[in-house]
Structure 1
Amino acid sequence: MTRLAASHLTCLRGARLVFEDLGFDLAGGGALLLTGPNGSGKSSLMRVLAGLLEPFDGSVDLDGTAAYIGHHDPVKPTLTVRESLDFWAALYGADASDVDAALDQLALTDLAPIQGRLLSSGQRRRLTLGRLLVQGAEIWLMDEPTVGLDTAAVKRVESLVAAHRAAGGIVVLSTHIEFALPGAQTLDLGDFAPGRAVDRAGEAA
């Protein structure tokens, strides 16, 4: 069964302790919304969960395949929208029908022959989100997925996330705007700032 859990996670970036003693546990269909001020470690936590950054302490238990999208959109300027999705599909073992579905679900069909260099920021973001669909991973790690998106596009992403969870997938998401994520756990990274572990122990006592 798909599962993502963290126990006593501590993250060190350079000489700076970002967060400490962080934990959560998600089963299939679950979601985790990351909140907290800038610099509290939301992106660092995403990178730890994705295996791109080693934790200073603690552990991550991941049962299933994971896909991560960060703040930046890795769109090749000379590839068309279709060619980019075809490339990702070949990389992850998807087929043409998966590419067609991603184009449709993210309203990219009319943009399929357009090169990446000609896309707006919102269109590039939707193309990056298309990679999640063709990758077919069970766990989505989405760092600010709504950056550059208009209201209609945000609604599309909300629907895709809901469908992914309904199929047993897991979503970890950070955003600075309102995003429909019913039943999600919320993790405020500010609560795990250095020294807060002692504060929490005192509050519990």
Structure 2
Amino acid sequence: MRTVEACASLHDATVVIDDRVILRDVSLEIAPGLTVLRGPNGAGKSTLLRALAGLVPLARGRRQATGELLYIGHRPMLLHGLTARENLTFFARFRGTPADGVAGALAAWGLADRADRSVETLSAGERRRASLARLDAEATGLVLLDEPFADLDDAAVSRLGEAIARARGDGRAVIVATHARHELDQDGARRVGIAAGALTTP
């Protein structure tokens, strides 16, 4: 898959939501390859990813980003009333990516026989896999995955690792935020810790 090179960074970024400081003076640069952001629930992982994606305002600091990005939150990001195939086709075309990779993306995630079922009829794990299949169907240089292990069985966790390896092979930057102990056993992965809204040594 041909991708567009992308990178994103935060510099001394602070995020305040409802008068509560969620991120404090965070500086982080995302380069091609895999970055694993690990921390407990409530540590600020999701907010950091959303800040990198430009989805939350910064009270202080700055964000820089180039190229296109794909953000997949901890809940399946699918349009109800459409099938899994229609969802991936819609998002790919919306982004300007050829939709000829949709069938392969669904097959890679074990959804070939579910591709033409409405997403409302899929199990929680199947919906999660359909959402994560966007990683294979859309050619973005930067991918942000928030708690991607949610609702995944062991086979799907392996598929996630394979999809991330494919993305890295295409020269993409992938950041995974998780509280799980899955190690994503891939050579050269960068590991970053977060606690109480500040980066730590993992």
So what's the TM-score if we normalise by structure 2? 0.88
Q: Which residue type is aligned with residue 27 of structure 1? A: A
Which whole-Å CA distance do the structure 1 matches of 2:23 and 2:86 have between them? 40
Q: What is the CA-CA distance between 1:96 and the residue it aligns to?
A: 3.7
Match of 1:182 in 2: 187
Match of 1:88 in 2: 91
3-state SS in 1 of match to 2:165:
helix
Q: What is the CA-CA distance between 1:59 and the residue it aligns to?
A: 1.6
Match of 1:65 in 2: 68
Match of 1:110 in 2: 113
Which of these residues, 156, 163, 177, is aligned with residue 160 of structure 1? 163
3-state SS in 1 of match to 2:61:
strand
Q: Do structure 1's residue 55 and structure 2's residue 58 form an aligned pair?
A: yes
Match of 2:14 in 1: 10
The structure carrying a bigger helix percent of its residues is 1
Match of 2:136 in 1: 133
Which whole-Å CA distance do the structure 2 matches of 1:23 and 1:159 have between them? 29
So what's the TM-score if we normalise by structure 1? 0.86
Q: Which residue type is aligned with residue 45 of structure 2? A: K
> What are structure 1's unaligned runs of at least 5 residues?
201-205
Q: In 2 relative to 1, CA 140–115 (structure 1 residues): closer, same or farther, beyond 3 Å?
A: same
Q: Which runs of at least 4 in structure 1 moved beyond 3 Å after TM superposition? A: none
Which whole-Å CA distance do the structure 1 matches of 2:67 and 2:93 have between them? 20
Q: Which has the larger radius of gyration?
A: 1
Which whole-Å CA distance do the structure 2 matches of 1:59 and 1:112 have between them? 41
Which whole-Å CA distance do the structure 2 matches of 1:10 and 1:109 have between them? 43
Q: What is the CA-CA distance between 1:128 and the residue it aligns to?
A: 0.6
Say if 1:2 and 1:168, in contact at 8 Å, map to a contact too: no
> What are structure 2's unaligned runs of at least 5 residues?
none
Q: In 2 relative to 1, CA 161–63 (structure 1 residues): closer, same or farther, beyond 3 Å?
A: same
Say if 2:93 and 2:99, in contact at 8 Å, map to a contact too: no
3-state SS in 2 of match to 1:5:
strand
Q: Do structure 1's residue 74 and structure 2's residue 77 form an aligned pair?
A: yes
Say if 2:23 and 2:47, in contact at 8 Å, map to a contact too: no
Count of matched residue pairs: 195
Q: Deviations over 1:31-77 (max 9, x none)?
A: 22112221111011111111110111112222221110111113333
3-state SS in 1 of match to 2:195:
helix
Which whole-Å CA distance do the structure 1 matches of 2:159 and 2:35 have between them? 19
Q: Which residue type is aligned with residue 190 of structure 1? A: A
3-state SS in 2 of match to 1:189:
strand
